[in-house]
Amino acid sequence: MAAAVTRRANALRVEAPDGNTESGRASLAADSPVAKRAVDAKDDVWVAADEGEASGSIAGDGNRTPLFRTFKVKGSILHPYRFMILVRLVAIVAFFAWRVKHKNHDGVWLWATSMVADVWFGFSWLLNQLPKLNPVKRVPDLAALADHSGDANLPGIDIFVTTVDPVDEPLLYTVNTILSILATDYPVDKYACYLSDDGGTLVHYEAMIEVANFAVLWVPFCRKYCVEPRSPENYFGMKTQPYAGSMAGEFMRDHRRVRREYDELKVRVDSLSTTIRQRSDAYNSSTKGDGVRATWMADGTQWPGTWIEQVENHRRGQHAGIVQVILGHPSCKPQLGSPASSDNPLDFSNVDTRLPMLVYMSREKRPGYNHQKKAGAMNVMLRVSALLSNAPFVVNFDGDHYINNSQALCAPMCFMLDPRDGQNTAFVQFPQRFDDVDPTDRYANHNRVFFDGTMLSLNGLQGPSYLGTGTMFRRVALYGMEPPRYRAENIKLAGKVNEFGSSTSFINSMPDGAIQERSITPVLVDEALSNDLATLMTCAYEDGSSWGRDVGWVYNIATEDVVTGFRMHRQGWRSMYCSTHCSASPTSTCRPTRSSRCSFWPTTSSPSSGSSQSSSTSRGRSARTSCTSSPS
């Protein structure tokens, strides 16, 4: 859709006409289309640039209408700005000419140094200003997407969430991230969520078990009452929880029950470290071993990852790879819940209770290997997901994000599926907005010069840069393939072992992952598949291949995210910037929480975690990644 101990809250924002996921789409289509609302008389900055296309079908494809609208700055604003830039450019050139004509012969070396610096800053200023001569805002039209695709025809999505340490990135943040993803408004059988735990800790795995158990209650509750946001910490932290339905009494009873269950979940999550230690001590004292104190899972087996008391092959930076499917792929047909009873006081008899696929994984780590930090973890997730779900689109979040609006995943699909140039779009980037900022924003915490200036300017060219999070990718673009206009219709992978690695199963999955309309097909996790997954997670798998260079996320550079986007642009792909609209309906006023150690993001505070584990890091910076269905 950062941190002083630095904490930043991010989200995806999509405007919805009301909280109801299905009736919301219908009202978008029938009552007030996004495009019309976006160009009303109140907008004194942006003007529609695609009226002809928006009023009818795309030429050459009579059955398809545009899925997003394009807006440009009004000429009455843009032309004076261009003239001002021209005047400044003339003044800078005149200044340089004066400097050259009046050389300081008594200090030539000092004059030359200052001249080089002035020329460099002038050149940088010019490069920064040129894109701003034609800023473009593109706004997704969820009504058109609903008319065009509907739930049945939406493609599959793999959602990647990365985390490392349950202390630096409080565990409750990750729990809320996953819960908001599981409850999002996207066909349940068409997306899967992957958590990559780069620390290999048992506490993260058992937290996901707790998430899966609580999601059985939380997700149907969200669907029944159309609550927003669907991160429970942020939802229950609101001063008021608006409800527009006709079952206020039942809603309040269910609300109290779910909140009580969530409070109990927080207690259990907060005590996981103590619980695991006590359990491990009990197992270690009851077994006759060699004195090694292992970390034990609840089923009585030793944890293959990092142990509490670290030893050889079970320490940070040295442990086996792990893949655990916590929630399997759901059926394609809705499964209604049970009516209220003494055992289950919540009535879900008219609510679909299915949950999307949830996978925990931790890649193998061994001494002597450069594990490439987050980029390496993302590439492993890309390979593992290819064998488990292989969705054609991938969304990545940091471990402390959450989705603040249930329709957020639909917005980037408007760009990816658009009949004009959607197939040549590699990724959709969302802006970041900071919460808990003073009303005047006296310290420029929102960083609007970058997000509302530079990024919209790049949007008028080949597209914005990849910012490392809050981004939807086309899987085939991550594989290093060229866009459709430059490559053959059928992807040929013969002899590609040196490029993609030695896994035949992974290479054979790549053509299916390139099919834009592909959904997610359930797979049987048998011994053969488990062996393939283990191979894909090994440290040595990428040796001699193009991973980290021409395939996947780029390695060996500090700005790996930006360079990954540049590589796609170099190949001919486009990117899109999903613009924001702040004055949306009540369902879009919520925001997610994202912890980060990026101290350059100015902040105020982020929501408290409500637990002792995260209370020491709960204060800090606050932001959100936003997308919307109408321009500001």
pLDDT digits over 149-173, tens only? 778 889 999 999 999 989 888 999 9
Q: Which of 78-87, 572-581, 589-598 has the highest mean pLDDT?
A: 78-87
Q: How confident is the model at residue 31 (pLDDT cuts 50, 70, 90)?
A: very low
For position 222, what pLDDT does the model report?
A: 95
Q: What is the DSSP letter of 200?
A: -
Mean pLDDT calculated for residue range 186-210: 96
- C-alpha 594/C-alpha 233 separation (Å) is 12
Q: How confident is the model at residue 579 (pLDDT cuts 50, 70, 90)?
A: confident
229, 124, 251: which is closest to 183 by C-alpha?
229
CA dihedral 95, 101, 106, 108 (to 10 degrees): 70
- Neighbouring CB atoms inside 10 A of 300's CB total 8
Residue pair 67/148 in contact (Cβ under 8 Å)? The answer is yes
**Cα R_g (the chain), whole angstroms:** 26
Q: Strands of 68-73's sheet, edge to edge?
A: 46-48, 68-73, 136-140
For position 290, what pLDDT does the model report?
A: 67
**Long-range contact list for 247-252, CB < 8 A, 24+ apart?**
250/347, 251/225
Q: In this predicted model, what pLDDT tens digit does every residue of 395-439 receive, in sequence order?
A: 999 988 888 888 889 999 999 999 988 999 999 998 776 666 788
Count Cβ atoms within 10 A of the Cβ of residue 613 and give its class: 0-12 exposed, 13-18 middle, 19 or more buried.
buried
Q: What is the mean pLDDT of the chain?
A: 82
List residues with catalytic annotation: 198, 561
Cis peptide before 229 (omega within 30 of 0): yes
Which of 127 and 628 is assigned the larger pLDDT?
A: 127
393, 418, 415: which is closest to 520 by C-alpha?
393
* DSSP SS3 for 447: coil
**Known binding residues for Mn(2+):** 374, 398
**Known binding residues:** 169, 198, 373-374, 398
Residue pair 596/414 in contact (Cβ under 8 Å)? The answer is no
Q: Which amino acid is at 99?
A: R
Count Cβ atoms within 10 A of the Cβ of residue 312 and give its class: 0-12 exposed, 13-18 middle, 19 or more buried.
exposed
Distance of CA 379 to the CA centre of its chain: 15
477, 481, 475: which is closest to 493 by C-alpha?
481
- C-alpha 423/C-alpha 410 separation (Å) is 16
Question: pTM for the whole thing?
Answer: 0.84
**Known binding residues for UDP-alpha-D-glucose:** 169, 198, 373
Q: Which residues contact residue 599 at a Cβ distance below 8 angstroms, ignoring those fewer than 6 apart?
A: 2, 3, 4, 6
Mean pLDDT calculated for residue range 247-257: 90
Q: What is the DSSP letter of 498?
A: H
For position 347, what pLDDT does the model report?
A: 92
For position 495, what pLDDT does the model report?
A: 60
Q: What percent of the chain has pLDDT over 70?
A: 81
Q: In this predicted model, what pLDDT tens digit does every residue of 428-481 receive, in sequence order?
A: 998 776 666 788 888 888 888 888 888 999 998 999 999 998 899 999 999 999
Residue pair 34/630 in contact (Cβ under 8 Å)? The answer is yes
Angle in degrees, CA 627, 628, 632, rounded to 5: 110
For position 342, what pLDDT does the model report?
A: 81
